[in-house]
Structure 1
Amino acid sequence: MSDEQTTEPQNLVKQGSILSVLTLASRVLGLMREMVKAALLGTTPLSDAFTVAFMVPNLFRRLFAEGSISVAFIPTFKGYLIEGDTSKTQTFLSSFITALTVLVTTVVILGIIASPWIIPFFGLTELDETILLTRIMFPYLALISFAALLQGILNSHHIFIPTGLAPILLNITVIGCSYLLTPLMANPARAMAVGVMIGGTLQVLIQVPGVLRKGHRFGYTGLKQAFTNPGTRTVFRLVGPTIIGMAAYQLNDLVSTALAGNAGPGVVSSLQYSLRLQELILGVFAVSLGTVLLPDLAGQAKRNQWGEFNRRLVMAIDIIALITIPITFFSLIQGEYIIRLLFQSRSFDESSVALTKEAFTFHMLGLFFIALNRILAPAFYAQSNSKSPTIAGVFSFFINMILAALLVGPMKGGGVALALSIASGVNTVLLFIFMRRTPQIDMGHIVGSSVRYTGKLLAFSALASIPVYFVSPALYRLFAGKGRLISYGIPLTLTTILFGVTGLILLWISRDALLKMVTQRLNQRLGKHGAPH
């Protein structure tokens, strides 16, 4: 029996908790990275140049990294682990890394060559600088692709700590290079670009020891063997349907960014700052849950353990609702002050605050749906079904693109953000509809439970927002003019406590099942540590 079969649920919970803590650290550091960028670049044309230059290689990241690994590699590799044939597993890994290297290297070379023809579509004033920055950072695509492959191997073994540490190294490196290399380079954007490349290298290296400890030794093979290996062909077959979806996604992202770039200076950067705040929440909870869930759901689907599959999926959806819905309400009330506390300094002036607030308001409306999509998609990938999420993604991305084109004129960055939120909601509805096609999944129970719990949280969050809404003006007047950290930090802390305590009281009164479960586990842990030896 393999170690995957004998992994205890408690250990998975522990790994998931550790990953959440590491992801929280990574997202906080990512936010600090954006704070450094805001301080050095603000929403200037040079900031837009770095944002677009870093975005271009990341457009292909979903296809070669997160996309192919989550959609196809993990379910396929999981099958090899369950089969238990070490030789076949190693041959598959060697073949896949060879094929991945050839494809990614080709895209990187073409991207570097084609940059002067791609970048002008974004309508930026710093055209030459954006092309240079793009060429510096395009090889990051190769680094993050290999890092994702190693992550997929480790996650399949239920090892998540290196996965959490890798982006921490990236953020620390970019922050450090921003300050250490800026005096040595023409501008801070170039220093940050060098930091991205060094950080990407560290993301690969941090995961190598864990893969070696699991006994995996693989290298490169001949091209014919690489592309004809049964495992590699299975991965390509599973990825195949997603290529259309990924192409639509990348086209949508390109068009949205081009629309934002032509809407005025600073709009592209303001959207990026807003998305960074949103990703702080998504990364800690939705991505962590999805990362832990996928290899586990894949194993349950292959063993026909559908009862446990359904139970874990329902719990994951409820956890996402419990986290994202209250945060959405609080952010809509306190969004401006959050932005001022985190970003307002030096180059980030009042116009930057206004631009970012507008984008942030409309981005937060879609937080619940975006988080939910990152939980629902792994449920399909675990069954080696990449077609359904692809169809849902293509449809929603076209809606996003059409709405962004219609709304960017009257609403600028806010219109682009609102289009994303609406399209994310459509994507969620489609995923639920497609999930009904799997008879083993109890959709009646899942949808009914989710709707009831979401409705309760909407009501509780609205009630918890009332005291915050009325107390906030007095608090900000009381601490005004005492420096950014005090003027905004203390009132935000107090209103967060007020909102959280009110919400917890409402959950306690309603005897919320998740709150009860968390309380019981805390009591058990405290009792265990406090018991006499």
Structure 2
Amino acid sequence: MKRTSSLLKSGISLSVLTLLSRILGLIREMTKSAFLGTGSLADAFTVAFMIPNLLRRIFAENSMTVAFIPTFQTYLEQEKNGSESAKADMKEFLSATFTMLSFAVTGTVMIGILISSVIIAVFFPKIGDFSATVLLTRIMFPYLLLISIAAFFQGILNGVRIFLPTGITPILFNLSVIGCTFALAKPLGNPALAMAAGVVIGGSLQMLFQLPFVLRAGFSFRVLPFKRCFGNAGARKILTLIVPTLIGTAVYQINDLVSTALATYAGVGIAASLQYSIRLQELILGIFAVSVGTVILPDLSAHAVNKQWDVFQKLLLNAAKIIALVTIPATLFLLCSGEQVIILVYKSRRFTDESVLLTLQAFRWHIAGLFFIALNRILTSAFYAQSNPKYPTIAGIICFGINIVLAAALAGIMKGGGIALALSLASMVNTVLLLVLLKKSKTMDIPGFLAPAAQFTLKITLFSLAAAAPLYFFGARLYTPLAAYPRIIAQGLPLCMSAALFALIVLTLLMISGDEFIKNAAKKIRRQR
């Protein structure tokens, strides 16, 4: 019960910081849209940043974190049990992991810089500005090393339930990119170069900021000879976990690579518009899905180590309900108000009416898959907590094929919207596959999990439809009287009013229904004050 309560407390704290980070991330995209619009230089930066960012997700966020935390949890349990050699074993394990990660990523960065032109020529032959894309890719490749080490630090801190630095480091990154763009765009004569410099500086800040927290928590590490690294039991376990995870994560990230390549064939500005769209989607995903997934993984891992499967299932069910409570209302609200959100956030300078339409085409279909993408991150945590990355890998490979086939088929007909729809449909299939495979693990009562989750989800969907109806039929009338005012007022004020009305209707219906989950959540929030 204590850990279930901590899920809400830690999740709220991390979500507040993540909210600020995602808002700054939107401001970063607003800065990009103002300086680059949806032209060829915008496509060049989008592709160049995507390549090291794609590898970051393979080496750092997903594979490294999900393989590291369950293994790290085992060492923490040994320390709790008072083992005499536990501290020495922990230091050896952390040193071996740090050494292997650093050498692997450094080699990747060096190779990546050398063959950047080949990568762009092979995957993005239709890119509008080839030379700029290659140069920007080379500048930003070192970001991969910086953020991978930062992810290692994050894994240590999250393993001992220290989440504050996790929430702060993305804020530092976004501030770095925004600040460098405004400060260096004119001196460098190229806003894309200024943004690239901000990416590298921001990665350095993310790494350096977390190190004092790691040392203060009592953990230390050093570079070891490779022979000792491979001789360490914990490091070997990470390698056995990380190989299938690398495959699954790589498949998912190659999805992005191929989808972006298809976008460059679909026309100028399509690749950039997809990124602008997905940034809005990730605002919700980052605030809630990633935050909840980050918070529950250490607890799920601890329950799995101790074979506490009833508590494990209850924690996962609560996380799934939180995801439904947030993403389903957000989906329906944004389907009604997506155009206004895009105009408010992006439309300025080089981001024209055509840019708005390009982004809206993708956004409507991206947002349709919001619930499934968010739920997948929670379900995947259940496998990783059990040190079972094989099943998510299988699901990822199947969905990779589905996404690419659908994206290739729909891109010619629906442009960016088709690529976005393919991702949403593949994510829905992935959810079904993960649930089927979770049942095969035989550690959970899947019917007992699905019944309350589906009932709650259906209730939220019906209440959200009721809240969306007034906006669908009458929402445009809120914008008409303010059309002559500046964009921040003409779009922002009616949008806030419609969001408040929507939220009020949903919350009122939830309170009237007497939902137990909502009542318990409200009690816990009051107790934390």
Per mean C-alpha deviation after superposition, the further-off stretch among 252-261 and 162-171 is 252-261
Aligned partner of 1:529 in structure 2 is none
Change (3 A) 1:255 1:12: closer
2:324 to 309, 321, 339: 321
Deviations 1:213-245 (Å, cap 9, x if unpaired)? 121121101011112321111001001112322
Shift in Å, 1:9: 5.4
**1:306-345 → structure 2 map (5 Å cutoff):** 306-345=309-348
**1:3-42 → structure 2 map (5 Å cutoff):** 10-11=5-6, 13-42=8-37
User: How far apart in 2 are the matches of 1:328 and 1:377?
Assistant: 22
Give the conservation status (yes or no) of the 8 Å contact 1:403–1:419.
Answer: yes
Shift in Å, 1:366: 0.3
Per mean C-alpha deviation after superposition, the further-off stretch among 441-450 and 328-337 is 441-450
2:56 to 48, 61, 74: 61
1:232 paired with 2:243, answer: no
User: How far apart in 1 are the matches of 2:68 and 2:250?
Assistant: 19
Give the conservation status (yes or no) of the 8 Å contact 1:301–1:382.
Answer: yes
Deviations 1:70-95 (Å, cap 9, x if unpaired)? 32111011101111201011001111
1:245 paired with 2:248, answer: yes
1:189 paired with 2:192, answer: yes
1:401 paired with 2:404, answer: yes
Aligned partner of 2:45 in structure 1 is 50
SS of match in other structure, 2:218: coil
Change (3 A) 1:521 1:88: closer
- Give the letter for the 1:233 counterpart: R
Change (3 A) 1:503 1:7: closer
Percent identical:
53
User: How far apart in 2 are the matches of 1:233 and 1:348?
Assistant: 50
SS of match in other structure, 2:115: helix
Shift in Å, 1:115: 0.6
Shift in Å, 1:466: 0.9
Shift in Å, 1:7: 7.9
SS of match in other structure, 1:278: helix
Give the conservation status (yes or no) of the 8 Å contact 2:241–2:388.
Answer: yes
Aligned partner of 2:357 in structure 1 is 354
Using structure 1 for the length normalisation, give the TM-score. 0.96
**1:371-390 → structure 2 map (5 Å cutoff):** 371-390=374-393
Aligned partner of 2:112 in structure 1 is 111
Change (3 A) 1:504 1:8: closer
**1:115-126 → structure 2 map (5 Å cutoff):** 115-120=116-121, 121-122=123-124, 123-126=126-129
**1:401-420 → structure 2 map (5 Å cutoff):** 401-420=404-423
User: How far apart in 1 are the matches of 2:358 and 2:526?
Assistant: 46
Aligned partner of 1:210 in structure 2 is 213
SS of match in other structure, 2:290: helix
- Give the letter for the 2:496 counterpart: T
User: How far apart in 1 are the matches of 2:165 and 2:231?
Assistant: 31
**1:86-235 → structure 2 map (5 Å cutoff):** 86-120=87-121, 121-122=123-124, 123-235=126-238
Q: Gaps spanning 5+ residues in structure 1: where?
A: 1-5, 527-533
Report the number of matched residues: 521
Aligned partner of 2:83 in structure 1 is none
Report the aligned-residue RMSD: 1.4
Shift in Å, 1:524: 4.3
Aligned partner of 2:65 in structure 1 is 70
User: How far apart in 2 are the matches of 1:138 and 1:62?
Assistant: 13
Shift in Å, 1:34: 0.2
Per mean C-alpha deviation after superposition, the further-off stretch among 63-72 and 274-283 is 63-72
**1:460-471 → structure 2 map (5 Å cutoff):** 460-471=463-474
